[in-house]
Every structure is written in structure tokens, then in C-alpha cells.
Structure 1
Amino acid sequence: MDTLIGQGLVALEMIVDPGSFQRDRVGAKEFTDESYGPGAVVGTATLDGQTVTVIASDAEAFNEKFPVVYAGIIGMEEGYKMASAVYATLAADVDKPAAQKRPLVLIVDTPGNGPGKVEEIFGMNKATGAYQLALAEARMAGHPIVAAVVGRAISGAFLCHGLQADRIVALDAKFGTMIHVMPLTSVSRIIKKNIEVLEELSKSNPVFAAGPQFFYQLGGVEALVPEIEGLRGAVIEQVAALRAAKAKGEATGPVGRAALGAARGGRVTRPQVAARMTAEFAAVADKYRPHA
């Protein structure tokens, strides 16, 4: 096997314990309408013996109600379905101590969101925002969340299905793995820079470059997985590491990635900007802080 692009369900079965995946069931919630958000695959499995919630995209599914949702695109219904699976996970473990909260495993292979006109009018941004919020709530409640990038992790779909995880692992670029928030053509139009200038910058600057190796330098990817067979072990390792990190109160998620990026030399300016903003806010905070 030379790539897992378009094979999110294959990756899912490779990562979880053999034969353990129960589709469309998370905690007490059953997803019975097969026509609702067909591109979103949710369910329960075991990973190294412990119960986990699994969320993935099905590149072979097609949402007949929204023609732009195909090939793993996360549309409005898919976003709500994924969010519902996260909230069902929270509900299932609400009374458990943090050390026993079930992990969430996100299998990431998506070319983006489905920005169809109808979906935009109905609330595409609310659906993806709901999914991001759900993952953030689960992360802060103590659930270890690991995203495994096995193919494409692009644009707004990666923002909601991946970047809110505690830790992200990614297959090596030799398998065709692609990570970027925006293609250089779009960046060029927005910041009014020639594409040739951006292409040159992308050779050395991880902010403009695309690919798992550059996101590793930025701290966005915790670990690169050199071979497909190592995916399962990498996810198990990160879940265990997250249990320990959360018990110690260490930063994970977006905050943890920012610190990691600075340590790896990929985000050297960000800490300086953040420190200056904090200092400037502290200087005027009393003027705006409500008083009893």
C-alpha cells in the first residue's frame, strides 16, 4: 500500500483493535438516519483494549442533498454529525474521573469544506463551528484527542476536524500526505503577492509551505509516522502521553502546539508578539475590568 488518500475507513480499521469498530453508535446515541451526513463516519471501538470514539471522513460517500459534498469533503450535515458524536462522548463519560475519560481518535483525510450556496445560507459556518467547539470542550474536560492525518488535511475542514485535537500525528509526505490551510494561489490573491514570490518563500519558510514536514516544524504535528504500519502504534503512544500530560496539567491542543513550534524554531516570532500583547493589555486592563 503506497497511500491512504481516499481510504479513511481502511486507516480506521488499521488503527483500532481488529473487529472492534461499531459504526453509528457513541455512548447512548445511535445515528440511525443513513442519509444524514453520509460522508461523516462516527462510532465506537477499542484501542489497545480501551474504549474510544472514532470520527472519520468517507471519501466514497456522496451527499445527494448537497452536490458539493463528496470525496471526503466535510459539509454542513457532516459537521453537525461529527459534533453530535463528540457531545455523545462527553455525555457518556460525564461522571467519570479525568483519568477514565475515553479518547477520541480523528482520522483526517479531507480536501476541505463544502461551500455550496445552499449550505452557506443554511449555516455551514455554524456546523463546523459547532464541531470545533465540541472538540474543545471534550479536550478541556479531560478526553485525550489524537488526530491522525492519513491523506489530505486542507482548509476549513482541517480547522474543525484536526486542529482542535490535543496532538496530531501525520504520515510522511512520501505517502502523498498534504497539510495546508490555504493554497498559495489563494494566499497570493488575498495578500497581493506574486505567486512566484510565495513559491520561493515556501521552499524555506514553513508558514507558506505545505506538507506534514513543515507543520512538524511549526509544532502543528507532534510526530511524523514514517511507515503506514506505524500508525496504530503512534496513536496508542500519543493517547498514553496525553493521559500523563493532562494529569500534570501540561498544555496540549493549540496552546501546546504554539510552544512546540517555538521550541522547534518554526514559530520564533509568535512568542515575542504574544508577550508584547500581554504586556500592553496588562497596562490598561484596570480601565476596562468591571468593578463591584
Structure 2
Amino acid sequence: MDWQTVASGLFPQGHTIHEHDHLLSGTGTVDGETVAVIGTTGHAPIGIEIALAQATAVLATVRANPGRPILILVDTQGQRLRHRDEMLGINSYMAHLGKCIDFARRQGHKVIGLVYDQALSGGFITSGLMADACFALPDATIRVMGLPAMARITKVPEERLTELAKTDPVFAPGAENYLRMGGLQALWEGDFAPLLAAALASDDQVDRRRLLGFERGGRKLAHPVAEAVSTGSHVGAA
């Protein structure tokens, strides 16, 4: 789904979102509340310029509009794979973006992520996954690493990974699998505006991704291991 259609559904009361070099920025109004919108489109490769531009937009919102909710619209193919970006420290730029989003949250800004098209690797980790809660459209393409690349890195045959992906969401791409793992709060279908309004109205400030992954059967050990570490007990102990 293109960003214009998504924006119209999210903000039936109007918006000022515009696109420039794969960067989305502006504001929208939902349920009488103004929301800052920052994001990407066109399967944007996240290079140093767009990472810095997003971080700048987040800090500008914190500075000019204290407490204003922030919506991050995600459509990215991940970090840009260029020697120039690597030499200039793309990892630091992306870390800076993640820190700015965390800073905004700590300053009282509700941050919501929405994957409306594609979300891959570091471009997703330092944007949508840094939000208080991340949502996605059912047809969104989400993955950290494709199975062919995973096979090269892990030395596990691609055929074996393909077989594992049929039953284990950790190996499988797609919004439904990220929902099972707890990375997504929910999938949005139908009328987007009330869904966004409800997400913004939620005052739950606890990160429940590990617990959601455990309850949904997508990540069975992250939550019990974290609980065991925090309490000094053993996994599986009474």
C-alpha cells in the first residue's frame, strides 16, 4: 500500500505529510490530536543522510512541540550497502537515530511505529522497533535477513532453513511471524484512524515483547530466561 493511501486512512481530519528523497515528514490529526509523522518510503535504503534526517526531525519535534506523539512510518530495505556509508560510520548514524527516538520517549513523547510496506534489518531495528509499540499491515514484508543470506552466514543449508521456517517464526519472514514473536503489538486492518487513536491513548509503558512472544508461542525462551536472570532462579524452576 502506498504511503498516501495509508496517510489518508490514518488522518481523515487531514495531514501535511510530504515526501522528499524517500523521507516522509509532517503532521496529521487524529481524534483532534496532532501527531508528528516521520518515516520512509520507496523501500528506502537507510544511508547516513536519511538516518540523520530522521533523527533531526525527531529532535525538532521534541524541541518545538513537547509531548507531541510521534508516528514512524516504515518502508525500508535496510541500511544502504555502500563502501562510502560504511567508511563514514553508518552504524553510528543509525545508533544516533535509535537514541533520538529513545530520548523522545523519555521526554514524554508517545512513539508508535507502523510498517506499511517493507521493513528489513537495521533500518527497522533503529526505527519501528524503537517505538513504544510497533504495528504492521497484514501484507507488510518484514525480515531481518533473507534465508539465502542466513544460510551463507550460519552455514546451515538453505533447504534446512526453509523447512524450519514452516514451523518456527524466528526463521520465517512476514508480519504474522513477527506478531507471533512479539515484535509487533498487532496487525492493523480496516479503519486505521481509530486504531491509531487507541494506540496513542494507551498508557502502558512496559515493554511486553518478550512476554507476547512467549504467550503467542513465537519466542518460547526469551521471557523465562530474562525472568530467571532477574530473579536468580533457573529456567523451568517452580
TM-score by length of 1: 0.74
Match of 1:92 in 2: 64
| Residue 231 of structure 1 pairs with residue 183 of structure 2 | no
Matches within 5 A, 1:119-134: 119-134=85-100
Match of 1:80 in 2: 52
| Residue 55 of structure 1 pairs with residue 27 of structure 2 | no
Match of 2:226 in 1: 274
| Residue 180 of structure 1 pairs with residue 163 of structure 2 | no
Match of 1:12 in 2: 7
Please list the CA deviations of residues 186-210 of structure 1 after superposition, one character each: whole Å capped at 9, or x if unmatched: 1111211111111111111111111
Which structure has the highest strand share of the two?
Answer: 2
SS of 2:46's partner is coil
What RMSD, in angstroms, separates the aligned Cα atoms of the two structures? 2.1
TM-score by length of 2: 0.89
SS of 2:156's partner is coil
Residue pair 1:40, 1:74 contacting (<8 A) in 2 also: no
Residue pair 2:52, 2:93 contacting (<8 A) in 1 also: yes
Residue pair 1:43, 1:55 contacting (<8 A) in 2 also: yes
How many residues align? The count is 233
- Which residue identity does 1:19 align to in structure 2? G
Is the radius of gyration larger for structure 1 or structure 2? Answer: 1
Residue pair 1:12, 1:56 contacting (<8 A) in 2 also: no
SS of 2:29's partner is strand
The gaps in structure 2 that reach 5 residues or longer are 233-238
CA-CA distance at 1:279 after TM superposition: 5.4
CA-CA distance at 1:180 after TM superposition: 0.7
Separation in 2, partners of 1:236, 1:149: 17
SS of 1:80's partner is helix
CA-CA distance at 1:165 after TM superposition: 0.8
Q: Percent identity?
A: 32
Matches within 5 A, 1:51-200: 51-59=34-42, 71-94=43-66, 101-173=67-139, 177-200=140-163
The gaps in structure 1 that reach 5 residues or longer are 25-33, 60-70, 95-100, 281-292
Separation in 1, partners of 2:103, 2:9: 28
